Amino acid sequence: MAEITAQLVKQLRERTGAGMMDCKSALTEAAGDMSAAEVVLRKRGLAAAAKKASRATRQGIVGSYIHQGAQLGVLVELNCESDFVARTEEFQALVHDLCMQVAASDPQFIRREDVTPAVLEREREIARDRARAEGKPEKILDRIVEGRLEKFYEEVCLLEQPFIKDNAMTVGELIKSKIAKFGENISLARFARFKIGDSAGAVETQSGD
C-alpha cells in the first residue's frame, strides 16, 4: 500500500475538487491508487446526490453558447435550490459545459424517460430487424435489442451521453458530482439547439418540480 502523503492528497483534491478529509479517506480505501480513489469519490458523490434528488430546484440560470461562425447556438436552463449557488463561477461553468455538450452531441431528449413511446418502439423494431438480418437466433433477439437500446439512449439522451470533456463519466454523473459538491439538488430543466436550416426546437423535461 502506498503511503498517503499530503502531496498525494493535494493531487487528488486538484483533480476532483473534493475536501481534504474526503480525499484522504478515498486514498486510504483505494490503497493509495489515484485513479481508484477518484472512483471511490465519484461513487460517494452519486450516493449523496441520490438523497437530494427529490428537493425542489427553483433557482438557477439560463446559459448560452454561440459557435464560431454564428451558425449554431444553444440555450440551457439549469436549476438549483439557491441563488447563492446559481451565482457561483463553478455553477455557471457547469451550465457552459452543458451548452457545449448540446452543441457537440445534438441530444434529442434530456433523459431516457423522456423518449416518446413512438420513438422507442421504432428503435426497437429497427434493432430487431437488424439483428435478424445479421442472422442472430430468435431466442437472443430480446437481449440484443435491449443492448442496442442502451446505445441509443447514450446517443440521444443528454444525461446518458459521455461528457465531452471526460468520457469516463456521463453528463448525468457530472451533474450528480456537482450536487454532492454544492450540497444541494441540481436539475436540468430544458435546452434548445438552433442550427441554421434546422427547424428543431426546445427540449424540456417531462417531469418537473
Residue 61 φ/ψ, nearest 5 degrees:
-145, 160
Strand spans (E) along 171-207: 186-195, 202-204
Q: pLDDT of 54-85, one tens digit each? A: 677 889 999 999 999 999 999 999 999 999 99
The CATH number of the structural domain formed by 116-154 is: 1.10.286
Class assignment of domain 59-111+157-204?
A: alpha beta
Question: Has residue 122 got a pLDDT over 90?
Answer: yes
Between residues 158 and 12, the one the model is more confident about: 158
Question: Has residue 196 got a pLDDT over 70?
Answer: yes
Domain ranges of the chain: 6-52, 59-111+157-204, 116-154
Fold of 6-52: Helicase, Ruva Protein; domain 3 (1.10.8)
pLDDT for the residue 1: 54
Farthest CA pair distance, the chain = 58
Q: pLDDT of 81-102, one tens digit each? A: 999 999 999 999 999 999 999 9
Question: Has residue 207 got a pLDDT over 90?
Answer: no
Kindly give the pairing relationship between strand 162-163 and strand 166-170: antiparallel
Question: Has residue 193 got a pLDDT over 80?
Answer: yes
Question: Has residue 208 got a pLDDT over 60?
Answer: no
Cβ neighbourhood burial of 192 (10 Å; 0-12, 13-18, 19+): middle
- Give the span between the Cα atoms of 81 and 42, in whole angstroms: 22
Q: How far is CA 151 from CA 24, 144, 161, 162, in A?
A: 36, 11, 10, 11
